[in-house]
Structures are given as structure tokens and as C-alpha cells.
């Protein structure tokens, strides 16, 4: 849980954002309900698998590789790029109702690899991609459902790029709070700093300035 002092700052200076963060965190406790009904008449059971992971577990390749389409039912996941020298760069944070689509072969001469790690106890339904494509071809309702999921995911990627393009760190942090308000408490400040592309000390000092300004 983040400091009460910082929440006091948010309440005072960003009341609308605080209401969104509070509302989202209440619903975060509920897991995502997968719409099994849209697969009625298809053999979803034998063409999908449910994975469960404890907090701080790394996800295995079958969950994040391109042969499967994985949807988060419960929990929070951090995606990061591991360079050959061992350094890590956080790519994104994923929550219930979102898809994992990171581990597609980016190029033949990779200089690192994508990893995924749970921040909370997590449950994922992973559907065979060929089976899913066959279902989408036959059923408009399945197509519409996954089209919306992927559209939301692409929109999220666009927002990340827009966030990182912002030069001012305070504005960048404010955008982060808005975009990830529902999982903010589950992400450490060190992870946030990594994602924003700044040093942890820089983020800490910036937050201190915001708090000092709010007390004036």
C-alpha cells in the first residue's frame, strides 16, 4: 500500500483521480468472468487450459508464447525485457480482462527476451491459437469479443508510447496514475520508476516536491 501522505496529496489536488483510483481498487478484488457462453457448441474445454500462479512467480513459455492466446482472469502481471547483460526494462502491467501478447518472435537476432512475473496470485485461461482462429471464422460473437480485447490492448500500447513521449516527469507520473489507477497499490515505486524511464531517486524526489508544494 502506498503512503497515506501521498493519498492525502491526491485527495487534495486530484480529487477526480482519487475517486477513480478508489472505485477501481474496489473492483480489482473481483476476478474477470470469462464469457464461456460465446463458445457454446465449440469444444473450449479440450482446447484451453487454466493456469494458476502464486505471487512473484515467473510465467512459463506456454502461457506467453505466440502459440496460445492468454487472457488474465485474476491477478496482476508485469512484463519486462531482459537484456543479455541482465538488465531489465519494464514494458507493461497487465490486469484481469487483459490479454498477454508479448512473446512473439521479434526478430531472429534477439538481444534479450521477454519475461512475465506475477505481482499477485494470478489465474490465466490460455486458448490454443489455431482453435481460436477457427472459432472466430465461424462465430461473429467470438470475433467481436476478441476484436474488442485486442483493440483495447493496442489502445493501451498507444497510451504507453504517449506517456513515455512526455518530457515532464511530473506530467508523465500523472498520466501513469490515470492509466494504471486500478493497480497502483500493487506496483512498487521502483517498478514505476523503471517503467517511466527515470531513476528511482528521481521519482522519489519528484513525489517529495509534489507533497511539499501541497503543504504550502
Q: What's the pLDDT score for residue 84?
A: 82
Q: Are residues 173 and 83 in the same domain?
A: no
Strand, helix or coil for residue 119: coil
pTM across the whole model: 0.78
Q: What's the pLDDT score for residue 9?
A: 64
Residue 129 sits in a domain of what CATH number? 2.60.120.10
Q: Which of 119, 138, 157 is the last residue of a domain?
A: 138
Q: Are residues 86 and 108 in the same domain?
A: yes
Q: Are residues 37 and 22 in the same domain?
A: no
Q: What's the pLDDT score for residue 209?
A: 81
Q: How many domains does the chain have?
A: 2
Q: Is residue 157 part of a domain?
A: no
Range of the domain at 114: 31-138
Q: Are residues 112 and 177 in the same domain?
A: no
Taking CB atoms within 8 Å and a gap of at least 24, the contacts of 7-10 are: 8/214, 9/210, 9/211, 9/214, 10/177
Q: Are residues 98 and 111 in the same domain?
A: yes
- All residues at 6 or more sequence positions from 187 whose CB lies less than 8 Å from its CB, including other chains: 76, 78, 93, 119, 180
Q: What's the pLDDT score for residue 67?
A: 78
Q: What's the pLDDT score for residue 114?
A: 83
What tens-digit pLDDT sequence spans the chain (216 residues)?
455 666 566 656 665 655 555 555 544 556 888 888 999 999 998 999 999 999 999 998 878 776 788 999 999 999 888 888 888 888 889 989 998 875 444 444 567 788 899 999 999 999 988 999 999 998 999 999 999 988 888 887 777 777 778 778 888 888 888 888 778 888 888 999 999 888 999 988 888 887 776 665
Q: Are residues 36 and 9 in the same domain?
A: no
In the block, residue with C-alpha cell 490454443:
128
Amino acid at each position: 500500500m502506498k503512503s497515506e501522505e501521498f493519498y492525502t496529496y491526491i485527495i487534495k489536488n486530484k480529487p477526480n483521480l482519487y475517486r477513480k483510483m478508489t472505485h477501481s481498487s474496489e473492483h480489482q478484488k473481483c476476478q474477470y468472468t470469462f464469457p464461456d457462453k460465446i463458445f457454446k457448441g465449440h469444444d473450449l474445454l479440450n482446447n484451453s487450459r487454466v493456469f494458476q500462479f502464486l505471487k512473484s512467480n515467473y510465467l512459463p513459455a506456454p502461457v506467453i508464447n505466440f502459440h496460445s492466446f492468454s487472457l488474465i482472469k485474476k491477478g496482476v502481471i508485469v512484463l519486462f525485457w531482459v537484456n543479455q547483460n541482465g538488465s531489465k526494462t519494464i514494458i507493461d502491467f497487465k490486469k484481469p480482462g487483459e490479454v498477454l501478447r508479448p512473446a512473439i518472435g521479434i526478430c531472429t537476432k534477439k538481444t534479450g527476451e521477454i519475461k512475465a512475473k506475477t505481482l499477485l496470485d494470478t489465474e490465466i485461461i490460455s486458448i490454443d491459437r489455431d482453435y481460436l482462429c477457427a472459432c472466430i471464422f465461424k462465430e461473429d460473437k467470438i470475433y467481436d469479443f476478441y476484436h474488442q480485447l485486442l483493440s483495447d490492448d493496442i489502445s493501451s500500447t498507444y497510451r504507453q508510447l504517449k506517456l513515455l513521449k512526455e518530457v515532464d516527469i511530473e506530467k508523465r507520473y500523472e498520466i501513469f496514475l490515470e492509466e494504471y489507477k486500478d493497480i497502483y497499490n500493487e506496483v512498487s515505486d521502483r517498478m514505476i520508476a523503471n517503467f517511466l524511464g527515470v531513476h528511482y531517486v528521481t521519482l522519489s524526489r519528484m513525489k517529495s516536491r509534489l507533497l511539499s508544494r501541497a503543504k504550502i
